[in-house]
Chain A
């Protein structure tokens, strides 16, 4: 069965902390994505990656960076967490452009 695993379901951090969100997929997919989802704003793309060590900015990359050292793992980094980064973070992957996205279960991040 296809699986996208996010390391934490709930996370509480302090303002200014460096935060790492991890995502691992076991389907050998080329493409991986990080979204954040806020009430009334839908899914917004932060970063995506179409290959190892390759990354592209999405619609809202400010305050975030990513790392993809291995095909199966895509990490989202909040360099200095701020309260406006409190959100649900969703990782997704897909094998090719015409295929659906497979989503992880999400990480609800609270920055206090």
Chain B
């Protein structure tokens, strides 16, 4: 069973701080990595995708991938209350399967 692990949280940060969300995965050959945001009662929506080692930045969001250590993280700079949501990590494994495996999500609370 290929696994994706996330700390369920909640992770609580003050407004304006950096929120750091982490995800580890078991399949060393995994190819594609995705971060989705899910507001309560809504469906997931993609924030970032990353495919190669290193950092990828998009506005206040930075995804970091380290394939040797098998982890991917999401940094949210200048966190806002509107960032309060559950963040889902998804990993597409190796071996020809293109079905992404989702972590259980980390709940983020940004308090004013």
Residue positions of A touching B, CB distance < 8 A: 31, 33, 40-43, 45, 48, 58, 90, 96-98, 100-101, 103-106
Contact = CB atoms under 8 A, between A and B. Distances in A.
Interface residues of B, number: 22
Contacts of B88: 42-43
B54 interface: no
Contact of A31 (B8, B43, B44, B98): B98
B37 to A, nearest CB: 11
Contacts, number: 44
Interface of B: 8, 31-32, 34, 36, 42-46, 49, 51, 88, 90, 92, 98-100, 102-105
A45 B103 contact: no
B43 A105 contact: yes
